[in-house]
Copies of this chain bind each other. A is one copy, B any other.
């Protein structure tokens, strides 16, 4: 029986576990023999590759992170280590790979493909939602809901105390999490790398509201702006409102995957297996315009993702 290996790589994101489970189950239902690669690229090199048993993936659907663990690996850039990985796969009769992760992981697997013609399918998973070609990456919905609960909770304190709160979200250079959170939490200020902000204009807008009775405010700042500390001081000094900064940090990556992340994981995984069975060699699964499909890695890797224009339009007033 032909083997297919499933692995996770790069930063962890909720939704990886459901994707693993679905890929294993669906691959088996299609007559393939599923294997699990532990510890990401490092495990691929070191041969931590075992046949998937039912109990390995039972009950993982509702756990955050990845039971396969992840890692970063410099060795994989060297041919000899990729060759070693290839041999581990060959020994087990594995000639298909599914990698759940981000841009960098896709490129690593593509190097392996170029060297040894091991076809792979990529499933986008990163809470940053910054992979080109897809509207959605696994982990984003769970991260947004973790942020929502944090902001809803901080709002209680802000309101109780006549205070400003600056909340910094993850997302590296991408402002998606910050924008979605600002809109859905009714924040008064939102600063993201994609929108030019104007503090003078914000000051003018909020000065009026404060005169009319506003007694607290919430600002959401993307980490890519690096404005958390500055904005907190600015609110204190310019708006004359006691302000505090909360950096949400790693709680955003974890938590039990939401239904959306589980459903998307299911569909990404089915598409990835089907893509490989249909002869796909190095495609990345994407969700675009409401439907799923695969696109060549060259349209993804190193490309700049396009931000949802409606979101930009709706958020712009919060940056002015």
Residues of B within 8 A of A186 (CB): 21, 58-59, 61
**Contacts A69-B162, A262-B183, A290-B288 given; does A146 touch B153 at CB 8 Å:** yes
**A 175-205 to B, binary, CB cutoff 8 A, 1 in contact else 0:** 0000011011110000000000000000000
A156, B254: Cβ atoms closer than 8 Å: yes
Q: How far is the CA of A58 from the CA of B71 in the complex (A)?
A: 22
- Segment with Cβ contacts to B, from A79-87, A90-98, A110-118, A244-252: A244-252
Dominant secondary structure of chain A at its interface with chain B: helix
**Interface bits A249-269 vs B (CB < 8 Å: 1, else 0):** 111011110111011001100
A residues contacting the other copy or chain, number (CB 8 A) = 73
Question: In the bound complex, do residue B259 and residue A71 qualify as a contact, i.e. CB atoms below 8 Å apart?
Answer: no
Q: How far is the CB of A60 from chain B (nearest CB, A)?
A: 9
Kindly name the residue among A8, A70, A262 whose own CB sees the greatest number of chain B CB atoms within 10 A: A262
Given contacts A145-B258, A259-B180, contact A162 B71 (CB under 8 A): yes
Q: Are A246 and B249 in contact (CB under 8 A)?
A: yes
Is A159 an interface residue when CB atoms closer than 8 A count as contact? yes
A270 at the interface (CB under 8 A from B): yes
Chain B residue nearest to A183 in the complex (CB): B266
In the complex, per-residue mask of A143-171: 1 if CB is within 8 Å of any chain B CB, else 0 = 01111111011111101111001000000
Given contacts A65-B159, A161-B69, A244-B250, contact A255 B148 (CB under 8 A): no
Tell me whether A18 is interfacial, beta carbon within 8 Å: yes
